[in-house]
Structure 1
Amino acid sequence: MCDNELDFQTLARGPVTKYFSRDLLEEHLVWYAHQEYQIYQFDARPWYSLDNFYSDMHAGFQFPDYFGRNWDAFNDCLTDIASATGKVLVVVINFDDWYQEEEQSASLFLDYMAEQTYRFLLTSQRWITLIQSNDPGLQTRNIGAHPVHWNFLEWMNRDRGL
């Protein structure tokens, strides 16, 4: 893969991209690591409560102790995240579990991830969010004005076993 090929292909489809295959996701994570992305990886399975979600975000993003454990505080703390390389990758596995249980919260999370993408792009930096679903037919609502697409290697239904 050429330098920047994967990240540009991903961002061209929108600020958030879906994956079905964990193996493909892991392969792409290796590429992102070689490109010096600062990677934040989360598992959405325990996010059956907002308290668990906020605890994971606080620990994973290393939010300050004063993090208020609400959506406004989450957004404020996100805006303080900086990357020495100007490249951030957020990965959430088992996203479909959370989306099926808490669609409103999961959608709000994706909205905030999209906002971060646009903030970073304004300063020629990159913020990419990848969500992994065990449901090959996962449909989410649009994030901003963009649908959440499957990655370019799992674009076709047959690539996800459908």
Structure 2
Amino acid sequence: MVVTRAYLVQNGFISLFFQKSVLEDTAEWLALHGYRVISLDAAEWEELEQMHVDIASALEFPAYYGGSLDALNDCLSEVAVGSYGWSVAADTGLVLVLRGYAEFSVVDPVGAHRLLDVFARQASYAALFGHRLMCLVHSSDPKLSVPPVGGTTVMWNYLEAADSARQTRGL
């Protein structure tokens, strides 16, 4: 899987995953190399408010967090510069793993897309400071297509880029 890791961010800071084993291996490798890996189950989000609660808790947003997409953008900009959510001194980078994304994108397609868009923009912003933010998105739908985020098309990870590589269920 060295190839996957080498190409992990070649197409942007957000990568799609279908096979759970590929996602788990990638997240485990990143954790072993000093990344703070935060995993959230987006399939449990029945409304946008639940997404905000989970992300705010996981990334240690301040108590004044407004629970809106604009507030998410503001707080993620603070995460990008290392104000909270992770330690830029101790961690190689921050990885947000979103499991069950396809299910949430059915519940709230606009909110699901905006989440990735905001994250992609803030990951680019973080790179200006030498900080690494990535989002690994698991989908049970092998044909999931995400509109461009942060000005970049969201791509399948290198090992699953070909449609034929996603022919089996995401085990």
When the two structures are superposed, what TM-score results if normalisation uses the length of structure 1? Answer: 0.91
Aligned to 2:109: 103
- What's 1:65 paired with? 63
- Counterpart in 2 of 1:117? 123
1:160 aligns with 2:160: no
**Partner of residue 77, structure 1:** 75
Q: 1:143 aligns with which of 149, 152, 156?
A: 149
CA shift in 2, pair 1:32/1:86, >3 Å = closer
SS in 2 for 1:137: coil
Instruction: Find the counterpart in structure 2 of residue 87 from structure 1.
Output: 93
Give me the whole-angstrom Cα distance separating, in 2, the residues matched to 1:140 and 1:54: 20
1:46 paired residue number: 44
Shift of 1:5: 7.2
**What CA deviation, in whole Å up to 9, does each residue of 1:62-108 have, x standing for no partner?**
11111111112111111222232351111100000011221110110
| Corresponding residue number in structure 1 for 2:22 | 24
- RMSD of aligned C-alpha atoms? 1.8
What is the alpha-carbon distance in structure 2 between the residues aligned to residue 59 and residue 50 of structure 1? 14
Contact kept? 2:38, 2:97, Cα under 8 Å? yes
1: CA distance between counterparts of 2:78 and 2:151?
25
- Structure 2 residue aligned with 1:9, among 7, 10, 15? 7
Q: C-alpha distance in 2, partners of 1:94/1:77?
A: 23
Tell me if the contact between 2:4 and 2:159 (Cα under 8 Å) persists in the aligned partners. Answer: no
Per the normalisation by structure 2, the TM-score is: 0.87
* Aligned-pair CA distance for 1:54: 1.2
**What per-residue deviation string (whole Å, max 9, x for no partner) do you get for residues 113-135 of structure 1?**
11111111111221111100000
SS of equivalent residue, structure 2 residue 44: coil
In the TM superposition, residue 144 of structure 1 has moved relative to its aligned partner by 2.8
Which letter does structure 1 place at the counterpart of 2:18? F
- Matches of 1:24 and 1:11 in 2, distance apart? 15
Gap regions ≥5 residues in structure 1: none
